[in-house]
Chains A and B, each alone.
Chain A
């Protein structure tokens, strides 16, 4: 079965085609402003160059972020619109999971970080080893510890400190703020490798293909981004009681 992966959570928009054997095609391009304009034409081009038609796609896996609200909605609306016409399932995959999959070490932890600006990141912590409290993402390969959060950097540093483990960083949040974690926690923090800064749609597709969820038809309706943060109007309303 062909899986189409889409991720538009960050400045690097990605699309990919995979099957049971692995990757068939992948495109990653930078630029928030062009995501709406170019996403569908690029999917059309990638399919054509791969000798495939959109009807061959049996699953759409869409990155849920967290990240740019508008960027995420472009990817999710596109993926849901395709699935609605194709009559195939669509699954939402946290982009933080995909970032972790590319960087997770055999020993120690990986912390995926997406830049939320203003000294905040969207973050989650993962291990390659299963444990009772962990959530399975990819069997035998990736387990999430705790939830998806938007901590201030101080809070995140304290949380990583508590683990006592070596922590590999991944994501553009790590590229922006990783040095602050290193200053605080020293050599236990491994800086993000250049190839692990941006999420890859191929890994969204891979996780989507192994995830058990298969919402289709009207069930794709509730598929929405991992916003984590409320709109500023709601935050203000909450503050004002």
Chain B
């Protein structure tokens, strides 16, 4: 079977020597995104078509609808990303695409598009891990974090503590044993009748409430573990909300949010201590949460830890972070064959 591993055949004049220019494509959930990034750090364009308004009436992401939307949007989003960056296909070093983890039906749209484009344009192809992408959003702004560091990745599907001694080296220290943090926000918001997506609505409501109003349980796991468990908290909040209809929902939301952030902060800073590192990096959609950002900033300052948090637009799903990972993998000599497949459960 012939595969497309050759170097770009075009004479690349736009990009200075030693630099790269990657087109990233991301369709793993409900955002259709394409971006052009120079040398893994400079975002030339980052187009994100969000489907959140379409999924809102279903109270969550509907995979089949997300997949249909991706197919309708992806070519236009790619064209717009190239145009906004002032880039021609021939200028590119290669095409990078999220190949997992994510919704498999959504992933295949981006992967099929990227493979076809890479083949037709004779460009190298790289399949990129979506969670690595979230972490590398931190390399899209300055100052970039230096290694080693501990990273807390919090999103709708994942809650991971990762230790990175160097580029592309991921040591998983802890993960959620049940719901992801973002999932708990969504489920709690739905149960409280607050709508979808849960993160932003709870964040807004909590700003008006008293976070000390209710002392919700913080799951205690065995000594030394960096894992998370949020299902007990979720159940406690739902029970409290149902049996205390007169308590202002602002107070319930603020107390719930405080409980989640407490647990995330305890694990993340303890991991820094454990690894003896003085740098902590946040990543993923839940890192947009204002209480989380405030709390981590305060505690990092108090402990003398250097904290990196991507700008909110780079915390949510986007293709620039995918193109950033591609740069570092390309420098390492990686390329993927045109047989690249989707892996809904791709590990870091």
Which A residues are within 8 Å of any B CB, using their own CB? 36-45, 48, 54, 69-70, 73-82, 84-86, 218, 220-222, 224-225, 227, 231-234, 237
A41-B2, A41-B3, A224-B72 as given contacts; A77 in contact with B62, CB under 8 Å = no
Q: Is the CB of A76 within 8 A of B71?
A: yes
- Distance, CA A77 to CA B70, complexed state (A): 9
- Distance, CA A72 to CA B337, complexed state (A): 22
Q: Is the CB of B65 within 8 A of A36?
A: no
Q: Is the CB of B116 within 8 A of A40?
A: yes
Q: Is the CB of B116 within 8 A of A79?
A: yes
Closest 6 A-B residue pairs measured CB to CB? Answer: A81-B116, A231-B64, A85-B120, A77-B112, A81-B113, A233-B62
Q: Is the CB of A78 within 8 A of B116?
A: yes
Given A41-B1, A80-B113, A82-B116, 18 more pairs with CB closer than 8 A: A36-B341, A43-B119, A44-B2, A44-B119, A73-B67, A73-B109, A77-B108, A77-B109, A77-B112, A77-B116, A82-B117, A85-B116, A221-B75, A224-B68, A224-B72, A231-B64, A237-B57, A237-B58
Q: Is the CB of A40 within 8 A of B68?
A: no
Contact of A54 among B58, B105, B111, B119 (CB under 8 A): B119
A70 CB contacts on chain B under 8 angstroms: 67, 104-105, 108
- Distance, CA A136 to CA B78, complexed state (A): 35
A77 CB contacts on chain B under 8 angstroms: 71, 74, 108-110, 112-113, 116
Cβ-based interface call for B192 (8 A): no
Among B78, B116, B340, chain A packs the most CB atoms within 10 A around the CB of B116
B292-348 at interface with A (beta carbon < 8 Å): 337-342
Cβ-based interface call for B121 (8 A): yes
- Distance, CA A232 to CA B63, complexed state (A): 10
Q: Is the CB of B75 within 8 A of A220?
A: yes
Cβ-based interface call for B115 (8 A): yes
Cβ-based interface call for B8 (8 A): no
Contact of B67 among A37, A69, A78, A86 (CB under 8 A): A69
Pairs across A and B, CB under 8 Å, 22 listed:
A36-B111, A36-B341, A36-B342, A37-B340, A39-B112, A40-B116, A54-B120, A69-B67, A69-B68, A77-B71, A77-B113, A78-B113, A78-B115, A81-B75, A84-B117, A85-B120, A221-B76, A227-B68, A231-B64, A231-B65, A233-B65, A237-B58
A84 CB contacts on chain B under 8 angstroms: 75, 78-79, 117
Among A45, A86, A221, chain B packs the most CB atoms within 10 A around the CB of A221
Query: Main SS of chain B's interface residues?
Result: helix
Which B residues are within 8 Å of any A CB, using their own CB? 1-4, 57-58, 62, 64-65, 67-68, 70-76, 78-79, 89, 104-105, 108-117, 119-121, 337-342
Q: Is the CB of B68 within 8 A of A36?
A: no
- Distance, CA A78 to CA B114, complexed state (A): 8
Among B105, B112, B114, B337, chain A packs the most CB atoms within 10 A around the CB of B112
B70 CB contacts on chain A under 8 angstroms: 73
Shortest distance from the beta carbon of B34 to any chain A beta carbon, whole Å: 11
Q: Is the CB of B64 within 8 A of A81?
A: no
Contact of B72 among A37, A221, A234 (CB under 8 A): A221
- Distance, CA A75 to CA B113, complexed state (A): 9
Taking CB as reference atom, which chain A residue is nearest B342? A36
A231 CB contacts on chain B under 8 angstroms: 62, 64-65, 68
A69-B67, A85-B120, A237-B58 as given contacts; A218 in contact with B76, CB under 8 Å = yes
Shortest distance from the beta carbon of A67 to any chain B beta carbon, whole Å: 14
B111 CB contacts on chain A under 8 angstroms: 36
Q: Is the CB of A81 within 8 A of B115?
A: yes
A234 CB contacts on chain B under 8 angstroms: 62, 65
Shortest distance from the beta carbon of B155 to any chain A beta carbon, whole Å: 22
Taking CB as reference atom, which chain A residue is nearest B58? A233
Contact of A85 among B62, B71, B117 (CB under 8 A): B117
Shortest distance from the beta carbon of A38 to any chain B beta carbon, whole Å: 7
A44-B119, A81-B116, A84-B78 as given contacts; A69 in contact with B105, CB under 8 Å = yes
Contact of B339 among A38, A218, A232 (CB under 8 A): A38
